[in-house]
Amino acid sequence: MKVLIAGAGRLGTQIAQVLSGAHNDVTLVECDEDRTAELGGLRQVRVVAGDACEPGVLERAGALACDLVVAATGHDEDNLVIGLLAKRRFGVGRVAARVNEEENAWLFDQRWGVDVAVPSATPLVSLIEEATGATDTVALLRLSRAGVEVIETAITEESRAAGRTLGEIALPAGTVVATVVRGGRPTVPRPEVRLLPGDELLLVSHEATEREIHAAFQ
């Protein structure tokens, strides 16, 4: 599934990480140049700099070929404009938008191109469950909303973890391996699973930083 996410705050970034980890084609659009620079380390997520309220930026980000657009900015007026452009100008099949202010919820309907309006109290969990049907992915997103980071790392020929079993890897405190993706298929992360170049791991942690987790494997 091709997904375009507008807004690279904490919510938009975590959604991008989870959906890309589930092997969706994800593009993240952000207008803040400093924030865009920080996102350079995201794996398997294309980052486009620009204002998603501008049709040219959406087109450059691939809106014409998208299956799903998620308007996840912190401004309701921007999310409404993005939703309307995605649906009316680019013909996107499904549009979801975050509602930041409860009094604006009545605006978020198909008149503005919004198929799924998600209140900020439960942001986008229901959307992802409906759009992907991937309950494991939704579970990971719920963890991230509870303050648990979802982090991806890949095993290469040079990785120190290549050829070792999961049981042999000393993980940072508060960190568990959620799944090992091999050949496009997720596998149960049993301790005896031996890591091979090309493997991708999704981990969840409520204490460790992304750098600490990558250090354990790379």
pLDDT in tens, 36-82: 888 877 778 999 999 999 999 999 999 999 989 999 999 999 999 99
Answer with the residue of higher pLDDT: 117 or 52. Answer: 52
| 25 and 100 assigned to the same domain | yes
Q: What is the chain's mean pLDDT, rounded?
A: 83
**What type of residue is 15?**
I
Last residue of a domain, one of 133, 166, 200: 133
Query: Is residue 213 domain-resident?
Result: yes
CB atoms closer than 10 angstroms to residue 112: 19
Q: Are 35 and 74 in contact (CB under 8 A)?
A: no
| 106 and 63 assigned to the same domain | yes
Answer with the residue of higher pLDDT: 42 or 100. Answer: 100
Please determine, for residue 126, whether its predicted confidence score (pLDDT) is greater than 60.
Answer: no
| 49 and 116 assigned to the same domain | yes
Q: Are 177 and 166 in contact (CB under 8 A)?
A: yes
Query: Is residue 115 domain-resident?
Result: yes
Question: pLDDT value at position 17?
Answer: 77
| 123 and 154 assigned to the same domain | no
| 125 and 152 assigned to the same domain | no
Runs of H (alpha helix) within the chain:
10-21, 33-38, 55-60, 76-84, 125-132, 135-145, 210-217
> Closest Cα partner for 26 from 70, 88, 92, 76?
70
| 26 and 123 assigned to the same domain | yes
| 52 and 156 assigned to the same domain | no
Query: Is residue 142 domain-resident?
Result: no
Q: Are 116 and 129 in contact (CB under 8 A)?
A: no
- pTM of the entire structure? 0.62
Whichever domain contains 196, its CATH number is: 3.30.70.1450
| 102 and 182 assigned to the same domain | no
| 176 and 121 assigned to the same domain | no
For range 83-103, the mean pLDDT: 93
- Domain count across the chain: 2
pLDDT band at 19 (very low <50, low <70, confident <90, very high): confident
Angle at 135 between CA 76 and CA 21, to 5 degrees: 75
pLDDT (tens digit per residue) in 174-213:
788 877 888 767 777 888 999 999 888 878 777 777 788 8
Tell how strand 68-71 and strand 94-99 pair up: parallel
Question: pLDDT value at position 146?
Answer: 53
| 129 and 158 assigned to the same domain | no
Whichever domain contains 100, its CATH number is: 3.40.50.720
Please determine, for residue 128, whether its predicted confidence score (pLDDT) is greater than 60.
Answer: no
Please determine, for residue 20, whether its predicted confidence score (pLDDT) is greater than 50.
Answer: yes
Query: Is residue 143 domain-resident?
Result: no
Residues sharing a CB contact under 8 Å with residue 130, sequence separation 6 or more, in sequence order? 116
Query: Is residue 141 domain-resident?
Result: no
Query: Is residue 138 domain-resident?
Result: no
| 171 and 194 assigned to the same domain | yes
Question: pLDDT value at position 143?
Answer: 55
Query: Is residue 140 domain-resident?
Result: no
Residue 87 structural domain = 2-133
| 44 and 117 assigned to the same domain | yes
Residues sharing a CB contact under 8 Å with residue 83, sequence separation 6 or more, in sequence order? 69, 71, 95, 97, 108, 112, 113, 114
pLDDT band at 135 (very low <50, low <70, confident <90, very high): very low
